[in-house]
A and B are shown apart, each in its own frame.
Chain A
Amino acid sequence: MTNRPSVPETDSESPDFVIESEYGRILLKSNCKASFFDNLEMDDGLGHFSHYSSIIKKIDSFNKYAEREDGRVTLAVRDPNVVVGYCIGSYPEPNDRWTLLGKLMYELAALELSRNFRGLNLAYRLLNSTMNDDFFEDKIAYMCGYSWHWDLEGKNLTAGQYRNMMKQLYGKLGFREVYTNEPNIALRPENIMMIRVGSRVSAEDNLRFRHLRFGIKPK
């Protein structure tokens, strides 16, 4: 039996790193391209949301994001081919308020871990792999946390506790909470918008973003 991971190991498709865990070998791979998704399966611990339908229902859904301009898909795959977690990034959806700032804004649109693979620090590793790129120094990366997306039952947490967990997780990568009157965020106080402002983002762009957060459109 070979020790090589079954996930393709060409330069462009080799994993960022490998985690040996009690659940077996887990491979993390950022910037996955469409060809990477062939023959993968979703772990049955993904997609448990009582109050919402995940944007990722099956493997094919990853293609949609990978094929977008600057779209990013980072996967955690249990050897040989079971997706146990993912992080997805892309420019905002066309109807989002943030598109008014063009390509300045970049959304970390989804981060999910299988219920069967928690406690391995995979969420941080997925995020870190996704964000570990100079690309983000020109962007305001953001995440929107909505309590109805959170697996509160699986984590046995209140919405406030889950919010705290999100703050700590994203905070490790330089994100901080900001306020906005964007209706979905403003709907519940536990909801959270967090941003990381890239080192090359100008003060003027920062100010435009601040105003847009409160509904004042950029001139």
Chain B
Amino acid sequence: MLEDYPKAIVTKDGTSVLLRPVVESDEEALSIFYSEIPKEEQWFLRDKLDEPETLHRWLKRLDYSKILPIVAVREDDGKIIANVRLHLHVAHCIVHVGHLRVMVHPSYRSQRLGSWMILDCIKAAMDMGLEKLFAEFVSGVEDSAIAAALKLDFKHEGVLKDYIKDKNGEYHDLIIMVRDLASEWSDF
């Protein structure tokens, strides 16, 4: 499956972008990417990859059998403009489920880049034989990602009311979305 990369896409404004797995030498480019995510959004990052030491440690432990991290890279200058991570499980009871996290650089939103990244993740998950993809989004913060996921047939599976607290102490719902990969095309 990794041999399928890099995969080329072209954004709505004509920018040529390559999707490929993260490699250790991406540290500087990823560090720049996360530093350009607005502070109020960095607050919600679970893995804290915006912190250089955390990012460094994370890159040292890259293991595609546990996490498949894909970056979108501008073909002309190598700038990383989006990142999606497919978290895989080793526990037998949830080995059929993948967990998706996506982040797009603010300058490249509304270019359908997030949709392409999520679609790539769905296809990768299918190729791995996963049966479900699970994603969590913060209501009021990641609404564009929720919209992209809905277009790709993710369904609302639940809401954790006031589960997330923002920098100002305001509560947000955590939206649980699931994409069933094993279902047949019942809409035909």
CB within 8 Å of A: which of B139-188?
152-153, 181-182, 184-185, 188
- Cβ contact within 8 Å between A158 and B182: yes
Bound CA span A161–B7, Å: 21
Known: A188-B185, A189-B119. A211 touches B10 (CB 8 A): yes
**B14 interface residue, CB < 8 Å from A?**
yes
- Cβ contact within 8 Å between A160 and B181: yes
**A214 interface residue, CB < 8 Å from B?**
yes
**B8 interface residue, CB < 8 Å from A?**
yes
- Cβ contact within 8 Å between A213 and B184: no
CB neighbours (8 Å) of A189 from chain B are 119, 122-123, 126, 152-153
Instruction: Report the nearest B residue to A209, measured CB to CB.
Output: B8
Known: A148-B188, A152-B184, A189-B119. A160 touches B9 (CB 8 A): no
- Cβ contact within 8 Å between B126 and A210: no
Bound CA span A152–B184, Å: 9
**A164 interface residue, CB < 8 Å from B?**
yes
**Chain B CB within 10 A, most for which of A51, A148, A158, A188:** A158
**B110 interface residue, CB < 8 Å from A?**
no
- Cβ contact within 8 Å between B4 and A176: yes
CB neighbours (8 Å) of A160 from chain B are 126-127, 129, 181-182
CB within 8 Å of B: which of A171-219?
176-179, 188-190, 210-211, 213-214, 216
Instruction: Report the nearest A residue to B118, measured CB to CB.
Output: A189
**A31 interface residue, CB < 8 Å from B?**
no
**A29 interface residue, CB < 8 Å from B?**
no
**A125 interface residue, CB < 8 Å from B?**
no
CB neighbours (8 Å) of A188 from chain B are 185
**B54 interface residue, CB < 8 Å from A?**
no
Bound CA span A179–B8, Å: 7
Bound CA span A179–B10, Å: 9
Interface string of B1-22 (1 = CB under 8 A from A): 0001001111100101000000
Known: A148-B188, A189-B152. A179 touches B7 (CB 8 A): yes
Bound CA span A164–B122, Å: 13
Bound CA span A216–B188, Å: 29
Instruction: Report the nearest B residue to A152, measured CB to CB.
Output: B184
CB neighbours (8 Å) of B188 from chain A are 51, 148
Interface string of B102-132 (1 = CB under 8 A from A): 0000000000000010011011001101000
- Cβ contact within 8 Å between B184 and A177: no
Bound CA span A214–B122, Å: 19
**Chain A residues at the B interface, C-beta cutoff of 8 Å:** 51, 147-148, 152, 158-161, 163-164, 167, 176-179, 188-190, 210-211, 213-214, 216
Provide 11 A-B residue pairs closer than 8 Å at the C-beta atoms, listed in order of the A residue. A158-B184, A159-B185, A164-B126, A167-B127, A177-B123, A179-B8, A189-B153, A190-B126, A210-B8, A210-B10, A214-B11
Nearest 4 pairs of A and B residues by beta carbon: A160-B126, A214-B10, A189-B122, A51-B188
Contacts beyond the supplied A167-B127, A189-B153: 20 A-B pairs with Cβ under 8 Å: A51-B185, A148-B188, A152-B184, A158-B182, A159-B185, A160-B126, A160-B129, A161-B129, A164-B127, A177-B123, A178-B8, A179-B8, A188-B185, A189-B123, A189-B126, A190-B123, A210-B10, A210-B16, A211-B10, A213-B10
